[in-house]
Structure 1
Amino acid sequence: MNRRTPLQSVILYGLVLLLVLFCLFPFLQILSTSLKHPIDWGNPSLIPRVLHLDAYKELLGLMPAQEVEVPASIQRLLENPALSDAQRQAILAKFTSTESVFPFGRYMLNTFVISFVTGICATFLASLAAYAIARLRFPGQSLMANGVLFVYMVGGVLLMVPLYQMSVSVGLASSSAGTIFSLFLIYLIQTMPVAMYMLGNYFRTIPFSLEEAAMMDGCSRVEAFWRIILPLSKPMLFTVFIYCFVIAWNEYLFASVFLKQYQDFHTLPLALQTLFTSKNAIWDRIMAASMLTLLPVVICFMLANRYLSGGLTDGGVKG
C-alpha cells in the first residue's frame, strides 16, 4: 500500500483548504456586507470596522416606529376644525413608520408554508409510489420506473408557459388561493420524480424477509409498510424531505410568473429580486435578507446530519 509523503499530504490539504475557502468566500462576503455601516461599504476587508445590525433589526421587525416630520401643509390641514379626531389620527398615521419597508417576515412565512407542505406531501406520495415500484409486480412497472425521471429531464422554462396556460384555462389563476395551489402542484411535479427514485433504491436495500416476518405475524402488506419499511427508512425520508423543501424554498422561475400579481403572497426569492430593483435597494438590507433566507436551509442540513446514517437494518435478520 502506497502512503503519501509529508509533502504530498501538505499539498493535498492545502488544495482542499483553498477549495473550501473558494466556496465559502461568497457567503463570507455577504455576511460581511450585511454587518457593515453604509459609510463602510467601500472597505474591502471582510471584517467590518463597526458592527451594524440595523438591517437585521429592520427585517425582523425589531426597529421601533420612527416619526417622520409632518409637512407644514399637512399641519395646516390638521388644524381644520371640520376634521374629526379619527380623521386626524388617520392622516398622522401615514407619517409614522410602523412596519418594515421590506416585510421580510411575511415573505418568509409564505415561503416556509409552501416549502413545508410541498416537502411533506412529496415525501408521502413518493414513498407510496416508490414502494409500489420497488416491491410490487404489475404491467408497465419497468417503463414507469425508468420513465418517472423524464419529467425531471424537461427544463422548467419549457413547461412554464403550458402550465400557466393550463392554470388559466381551469380558472385557478383567477384567485390567489388557486394560484398558490397551482404553484404547489408544480413543485410536486418538480420534486417527486427524484424523490421516487431515491426512495425506490433505498427500499430495495431493505430485506424483504422483514416484511415476510411481519406478514406471518398477521400484518397486512399496508401494515408492514407502515410498521417496518417507513421506520427503517427514516434517514432517507428525512433526506428526501430536505431535498423537496430546499427545491421549493429556492424556486424562483414559476413563482415569478404565478405570484407576480399577488404581492402579499410573494416567496423570498421573488421578494429579494423585487427588493434589489426597488428604491429600497440598500446593500446591507439586501445582504441581510440573503443571509436570513439562507439560514433555514443551513439549519435543515445541520438537523439532517443525525439522520444521514446507514446500517439501520443491520442485524434485523438473523443469519
Structure 2
Amino acid sequence: MLLLLFCLFPFVQILSTSLKHQADWGNPSLIPAQLNFEAYKELLGFSQQEVELPETIRMMLESPAISEEQRAAIIKKFTSTSDIFPFGRYMLNTFVISMVTAFLSTLIATFAAYALSRLKFRGRNAFSNTVMFVYMVGGVLLMVPLYQMAVSTGLASTVPGTLICLLLIYLVQTLPVAIYMLGNYFRTIPFSLEEAAMIDGYSRTSAIFAVIIPLSRPMLLTVMFYCFVIAWNEYLFASVFLKQYQDFHTLPLALQTLFSSKNAIWDRIMAASMLTLIPVVIAFSVANRFISSGGTAGGVKE
C-alpha cells in the first residue's frame, strides 16, 4: 500500500494542480479551493476567450502619431492566437503514429512468433534467444547513427521520409517484446487443434487464421495496446527526427516545448500532462480486461 501510494501521488498532484486557479497554486492541499476547468477548455478548444491588450499597449495606441495601419498591425500582433498550444493536433499526430506502429508490429509479430513456436528451421533457437537483444543497446547510442543514415539517404529532408524513419524505429522497439509475448502464448495452444483443421482441408496458413488468431485474440489485443503505449510515450527519437517539423510533433515532444513557450502556465501544463495520460490509462485498462488464460481449456481430450 505504501508503494502504491508513492507511485500514485505524482498523478494526484498533477490532477490537483490542473484544477486549481492561479491564486490557489501555493495551497499545499491536494483539494482545490475552487475547481478550475479553464485549462482543459483551452487545450480542447472549448474556450473562446478574447486576448486583452496590456495597459502599456493601449496607452501607445492612443497616441496620435500612430497611423491607422500601424494601429491595426499592433492590435493584430498582440491579439493573434496563432501560437496557442495546438494540443488537439499533437494528440492526433501521436495517436496516428502509435496506432500504425501497434497494428504493423502486431501483424508482423504474429507470423514471426508463429514461426518460432511451431516451425523447425536452422537457427530458430538462436533467433528465439536473441530476439530481445535490441533492448540491451540504449537508444542514446543508436540515435546519432540512425539519424545520420536518414540524412544520408535523404529521408530526413522530407516529412513523409522522416515519418517512415520514425515508424521503422518504433517497429524495432516494439517487435521484440511483441514476438516474445505472442510466441509464449502460441506455445500454450495445442497443436492438435491445428492438426484437426488440416485434416478438414485447411492449409497451415489458413489454419493460422482459422485456429491460432481467433484463440489468440485476447493476447493479440494486449500486445497491440502494449505496443501502442510504447510508441505513445516515446520521446528520444521523436525529439531528433521531428524537431524541425513542428506541425508533426508528438505529445511527449510538444509537452517539453510547452515549458519554454508563452503558454507555460502551471494549470495548462498539468492539464496537458493529464490529458496525455488518459489514453495510456485507457489502453492499460482495456488490455488488462483482455488478459485471460484458459481459452483452449477442454479443447483437447487426452
Instruction: Give TM-score scaled by structure 1 length.
Output: 0.87
Matching of residues 111-150 of structure 1 within 5 Å: 111-150=94-133
- Moved >6 Å (runs of 4+): none
Alignment partner, residue 5 of structure 1? none
Take 2:124 and 2:186, find their aligned partners in 1: how far apart are those partners? 15
Letter in 2 for 1:203: F
Letter in 2 for 1:78: E
In angstroms, what is the RMSD of aligned CA positions?
Answer: 2.0
Letter in 2 for 1:64: Q
Is 2:239 the partner of 1:256?
A: yes
Matching of residues 283-298 of structure 1 within 5 Å: 283-298=266-281
Take 2:97 and 2:69, find their aligned partners in 1: how far apart are those partners? 49
Alignment partner, residue 136 of structure 2? 153
Secondary structure of residue in 2 paired with 1:66: coil
Alignment partner, residue 176 of structure 2? 193
Q: CA deviation at 1:274?
A: 0.6
Matching of residues 147-296 of structure 1 within 5 Å: 147-296=130-279
Q: Deviations over 1:114-150 (max 9, x none)?
A: 0010000000001111101111111111111112111
Contact 2:116 2:183 in 1 (8 A): yes
Q: Which runs of 5+ in 2 are unaligned?
A: none
In structure 2, the CA distance between the partners of 1:78 and 1:123, relative to structure 1 (3 Å rule), is same
Letter in 2 for 1:72: L
Q: CA deviation at 1:67?
A: 4.5
1:312 to 274, 279, 295: 295
Contact 2:229 2:280 in 1 (8 A): yes
Alignment partner, residue 72 of structure 1? 61
Letter in 1 for 2:244: Q
Contact 1:152 1:194 in 2 (8 A): no
Q: Deviations over 1:251-294 (max 9, x none)?
A: 01000110111111110011101111223211111100000000
Take 2:96 and 2:179, find their aligned partners in 1: how far apart are those partners? 22
Q: CA deviation at 1:62?
A: 0.8
Aligned residues: 295
Instruction: Give TM-score scaled by structure 2 length.
Output: 0.92
Take 1:148 and 1:21, find their aligned partners in 2: how far apart are those partners? 35
Take 1:294 and 1:67, find their aligned partners in 2: how far apart are those partners? 29
In structure 2, the CA distance between the partners of 1:60 and 1:285, relative to structure 1 (3 Å rule), is same
Alignment partner, residue 5 of structure 2? 21
Secondary structure of residue in 2 paired with 1:317: coil
In structure 2, the CA distance between the partners of 1:313 and 1:225, relative to structure 1 (3 Å rule), is same
